[in-house]
Chain A
Amino acid sequence: MLKRTALYDSHIDAGARIVEFGGWEMPVQYSGIRPEHLEVRSGVGVFDISHMGQLMVSGPESAAFLNRALTNDIAKLSPGLGQYTLLCHDQNSGGTIDDLYVFCLNPSEYLLILNASRFDDDRKFLEGLLASYPGRADVTLNNLSSSNSALALQGPGSPAIADALFGAVIDSGAPSGIPRNHIAALQAGGSVFGDGTILLSRTGYTGEDGFEIMAPHSVIQRIWSELTDRHNVLPIGLGARDTLRLEAGYPLYGHELDEKTSPIEAGVKWAVAMDKGDFSGRESIRACMDNPDRRMLIGLEMVDKAPPPRQGYALFSSADADEPSGVVTSGTLSPSLGKGIALGFVPKSDAAVGRNWWVEIRGRKFKAVQCRRSFLSKAG
């Protein structure tokens, strides 16, 4: 039985086309992937991200426990700061169970934002780790997703909209003053949003400035209505969410990351703190780092007129190679650049920015050039 978010009826009213995603019935598009994508790049759009798992880890031992579970260093988080991190297996070269965001709300409360399709496995794995953790009596895992929804407000126009939206409920400064990767708690009590705490973070998955908003279902419903009705913010579906994150070069679980892929291979080594002490997956991640034959995630741009590259297409090191060297993990026709872009795995020893790879599409090989994974970055 597929789940529906608290905003499902709003999506139908807005003309959404609904698809299954991670066990949920989600809007893949409203007006169209291209116009939605371009609106987020140039203006502002709002996404329902209530399918994502919200897990509160609380208690005096929370930070120490999470530092044993997750790859990044929790000790770097002061209250109000968040970080990208991963949850990894000890086997399979540090294969990835999930990638996530963790926010420190205060020294004994951490909010984890997890992928919808991985949420059940994540909780099982964390509960397993906790069962053998000496300080387990001082750590509580609490699934907030049953009572909370979430949305993302993204695009260069989002700070102004957030200020207009929340100006009346905030006494400690405007949302546009929240620094990147930080989170603030707003008390909605007595406002048009009803009662409850609104968590507002300066984060996103589009490569644009923006916010993610976590709050009780009824509060999120009211915020959604305010944004789409009163502020005329365009609703954006999962289709554009995917093309936006791909242009930004961000990995998506199930494409660039899975239980057989190490964070090292997927290019997110910067979120692995090898020097912080032991954590789940550390030894196998080390083994992956020491393996000269490992795979590496690269960016690709199609050179000539070509069909868009897609997940699963084979990559060849030359136009006449018989055996593929790698595979495309995500690909599309970039709405911003007007050409085919892709992420894919190749042997690290063969990878070099500027070299050519050939993508096999329906039996023909099309030339691509290896580039930085952040396709939109202008700084070379």
Chain B
Amino acid sequence: MSNVPDDLKYASSHEWVRVSGETSTVGITDHAQEELTDVVFVELPEVGRVVEAGEAVAVVESVKTASDIYSPVAGEIVEVNTRVSEDPSLVNSSPYEDGWFYRVRSAGAPDTSGLMDAAAYREQIGS
């Protein structure tokens, strides 16, 4: 049974977003890390890059496969979690806290209208 915190927004491609003013923190869900199993490599975007919602911005790799991470919100990348590229296992052990990927800043409040709440995401993953 995957953990799906109530205070986050979710993309159908299994990213989560934690909105704080104009800044959104992005990572992948507990369900996603369970599906991937042991994460062995994380490739993060460059700080300063401007990204569209739905754009492939990062890559997470398990022993077996490489998967794209799509930005759930648009804006400028203002911070990346270098700890997770040094220790990719944080994605498995702490997907919603230490295992976050990057922060993106939007002009005004980010548009989260295309994202799901926790209840809808739980339904999607059958959790």
**Is A32 touching B37 in the complex (CB atoms < 8 A)?**
yes
Main secondary structure of the interface of A (DSSP, over half): mixed
* Docked complex: B1-59 residues within 8 A CB-CB of A: 37-38, 40-41, 43, 59
Candidates A28, A34, A239, A307; contact of B66 at CB < 8 Å: A307
Closest to B42 in A: A307
Q: A239–B63 Cα gap in the complex (Å)? A: 8
Closest to A19 in B: B64
Chain A residues in 8 Å Cβ range of B43:
307, 362
Q: A335–B66 Cα gap in the complex (Å)? A: 16
Q: How large is the interface on A (under 10, 10 to 19, 20 to 34, 35 or more residues)?
A: 10 to 19
Closest to A332 in B: B63
A243 at interface, CB cutoff 8 A: yes
Candidates A32, A37, A242, A333; contact of B61 at CB < 8 Å: A333
A51 at interface, CB cutoff 8 A: no
Q: A364–B1 Cα gap in the complex (Å)? A: 38
Residue from the set B40, B61, B64, B66 with the largest chain A CB neighbour count within 10 Å = B64
B3 CB to closest chain A CB (Å) equals 18
**Is A308 touching B59 in the complex (CB atoms < 8 A)?**
no
* Docked complex: A55-108 residues within 8 A CB-CB of B: none
Candidates A307, A335, A362; contact of B63 at CB < 8 Å: A335
Chain B residues in 8 Å Cβ range of A243:
63
**Is A239 touching B64 in the complex (CB atoms < 8 A)?**
yes
Main secondary structure of the interface of B (DSSP, over half): strand
Residue from the set B37, B43, B59 with the largest chain A CB neighbour count within 10 Å = B37
A261 at interface, CB cutoff 8 A: no
A148 at interface, CB cutoff 8 A: no
A41 at interface, CB cutoff 8 A: no
> Known: A33-B37, A34-B38, A307-B43. Is A362-B64 also a contact (CB below 8 A)?
no
Q: A243–B40 Cα gap in the complex (Å)? A: 14
A282 at interface, CB cutoff 8 A: no
Contact with B along A346-380 (1 / 0, CB 8 A): 00000000000000001000000000000000000
Closest to B68 in A: A362
Contact with B along A236-247 (1 / 0, CB 8 A): 000100110000
Chain A residues in 8 Å Cβ range of B59:
307, 362
* Docked complex: A238-292 residues within 8 A CB-CB of B: 239, 242-243
Chain A residues in 8 Å Cβ range of B63:
33-34, 37, 239, 243, 308, 332-333, 335
Chain B residues in 8 Å Cβ range of A50:
none
A34-B38, A335-B63 known; 17 new pairs, CB 8 Å cut-off, are A28-B64, A32-B38, A33-B37, A33-B38, A33-B63, A34-B37, A34-B63, A37-B63, A239-B63, A242-B64, A307-B61, A308-B40, A308-B61, A308-B66, A332-B64, A333-B40, A333-B41
* A residues apposed to B, CB below 8 Å: 28-29, 32-34, 37, 239, 242-243, 307-308, 310, 332-333, 335, 362
4 closest A-B pairs by CB: A333-B40, A33-B63, A34-B38, A307-B41
